[in-house]
């Protein structure tokens, strides 16, 4: 387990460290100076205060060149290099393309395990940390079925529903845990074994937080917006009215994602959150095939008689070299030609030719002027 940082990745980590994971300060500085090189130039440090950057960030930047601060930062870099399997900024090709649509997408993701899973079609399953036996069983059954159908199951490595969802999906090597701490920390500690199992079964652990970051309360809503942002849809299997999974559902609604909820007994407080979601417009489901049916049209996913025959998208090595850049610019949500051109800068005539070839290869589908990344299956 080790990773080599590029110069750009090192710079992003540096700025992310100085602004203490503040998206607002990070983007304000980059937008003002135009490039991260200029942001980190000591000569421009005096200008930080004119941008209404938090005083803690300014003070942290001023002290950054001191020996003690440099030693602490180098320790952080060493942990990243030795404990991460991958690091990706928004400029890296393996950064999850589905997150790039959102203004609050994290500037960097650090992870362990299989980075290729980040760009696979995902469904997030979330719910109560104190799930009942029935809630755990529902979460496990839905996760197992959807993973067997070829979806990566994304959740938050919490106790209860998250744990059941990960447990089921790792049987098919298709689960991602988004955590609210640094990669060097497991929270809750009781899920240390689960984390190891996920990595052993070719899953992935991912975070936007740098090492030494503890599980602070305000980090969990940030974690949740990544869970929903990565996914095509969010399923809430059991939740009370004060469950954190409702924050995930709210983020999903703001992102325009499909939200599903399983119902429970009307007098069971553990399901009142699910019932509230259904009243607010979430789709009631009592079987995972209903989820497949609802997402099949927008994602062009093939529902098969034998779901276990469904394959994951082809690996990068299977894509013809001249089509690779075009294919990786595609997303599961669909984009028009201008959006794909903006990502690739490939001349329009060549881009259209590439897209047509990808369609013929079964790797792209066009509908209503939008191009969708597609999965080959044995239908």
Instruction: Express as a percent the part of the chain with pLDDT over 70.
Output: 92
Residues 6 or more apart in contact with residue 369 via CB below 8 angstroms: 336, 337
Flag whether pLDDT at 16 surpasses 60: yes
Flag whether pLDDT at 375 surpasses 90: no
Flag whether pLDDT at 32 surpasses 70: yes
pLDDT for the residue 296: 72
pLDDT for the residue 372: 81
Q: Quote the DSSP letter at residue 157.
A: -
Please, are residues 210 and 216 in contact by the beta-carbon 8 Å criterion?
no
pLDDT for the residue 332: 72
Please, are residues 264 and 271 in contact by the beta-carbon 8 Å criterion?
yes
pLDDT for the residue 75: 97
Please, are residues 5 and 13 in contact by the beta-carbon 8 Å criterion?
yes
Tell me: the pLDDT tens digits for 163-176?
Answer: 999 999 999 999 99
pLDDT for the residue 299: 54
Residues paired with 161 in a beta bridge: none
pLDDT for the residue 365: 80
Rounded to whole angstroms, the Cα distance separating 130 from 238 reads: 9
pLDDT for the residue 368: 66
> Quick one: average pLDDT of 313-325?
72
Flag whether pLDDT at 374 surpasses 80: no
Q: Which domains does the chain have, with CATH numbers?
A: 1-82 (no CATH), 112-307 (3.40.50.450), 316-373 (1.10.10.10)
Alpha-carbon dihedral angle through residues 195, 200, 201, 206, given to the nearest 10 degrees = 40
> Quick one: average pLDDT of 83-100?
95
Rounded to whole angstroms, the Cα distance separating 227 from 245 reads: 10
Flag whether pLDDT at 11 surpasses 60: yes
Flag whether pLDDT at 370 surpasses 60: yes
Please, are residues 182 and 213 in contact by the beta-carbon 8 Å criterion?
yes
Q: Which residue has the higher pLDDT, 174 or 366?
A: 174
In terms of average pLDDT, the best of 41-50, 149-158, 306-315, 366-375 is: 149-158
Q: Could you tell me the pLDDT band of residue 335, with boundaries at 50, 70 and 90? A: confident
> What is this structure's pTM?
0.81
Rounded to whole angstroms, the Cα distance separating 237 from 138 reads: 7
List % helix, strand, coil for the chain (3-state, nearest 5). 50, 10, 35
């Amino acid at each position: 387990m080790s990773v080599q940082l590029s110069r750009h990745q090192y710079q992003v980590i540096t700025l992310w460290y100085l602004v203490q994971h503040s998206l607002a300060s990070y983007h304000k500085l980059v937008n003002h100076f135009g490039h991260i090189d200029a942001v980190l130039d000591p000569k421009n440090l005096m200008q930080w205060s004119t941008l209404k950057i938090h005083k803690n960030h300014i003070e942290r930047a001023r002290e950054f060149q001191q020996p003690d601060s440099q030693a602490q930062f180098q320790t952080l870099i060493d942990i990243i290099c030795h404990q991460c399997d991958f690091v990706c900024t928004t400029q890296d090709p393996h950064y999850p393309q589905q997150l790039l649509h959102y203004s609050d997408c994290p500037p960097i993701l650090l992870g362990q395990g299989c980075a290729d899973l980040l760009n696979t079609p995902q469904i997030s399953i979330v719910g109560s940390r104190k799930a009942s036996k029935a809630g755990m069983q529902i979460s496990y059954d839905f996760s197992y079925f959807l993973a067997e159908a070829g979806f990566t199951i994304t959740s938050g490595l919490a106790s209860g529903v998250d744990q059941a969802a990960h447990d089921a999906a790792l049987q098919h090597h298709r689960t991602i845990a988004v955590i609210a701490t640094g990669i060097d920390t497991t929270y809750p500690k009781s899920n240390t074994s689960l984390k190891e199992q996920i990595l052993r079964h070719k899953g992935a652990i991912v975070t936007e937080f740098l090492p030494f970051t503890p599980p602070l309360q305000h980090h969990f809503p940030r974690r949740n917006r990544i869970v929903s942002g990565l996914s095509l849809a969010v399923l809430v299997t059991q939740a009370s009215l004060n469950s954190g999974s409702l924050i995930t559902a709210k983020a999903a609604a703001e992102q325009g994602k499909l939200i599903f909820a399983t119902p429970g007994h009307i007098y069971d407080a553990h399901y009142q959150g699910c019932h509230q979601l259904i009243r607010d417009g979430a789709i009631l489901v009592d079987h995972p095939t209903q989820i497949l049916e609802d997402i099949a049209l927008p994602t062009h996913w093939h529902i098969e008689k034998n779901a276990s025959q469904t394959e994951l998208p082809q690996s990068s090595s299977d894509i013809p070299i001249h089509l690779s850049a075009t294919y990786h610019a595609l997303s599961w949500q669909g984009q028009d030609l201008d959006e794909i051109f903006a990502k690739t800068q490939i001349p329009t005539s060549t881009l259209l030719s590439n897209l047509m070839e990808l369609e013929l290869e079964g790797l792209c589908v066009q509908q209503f002027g939008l191009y969708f990344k597609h999965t080959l299956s044995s239908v």
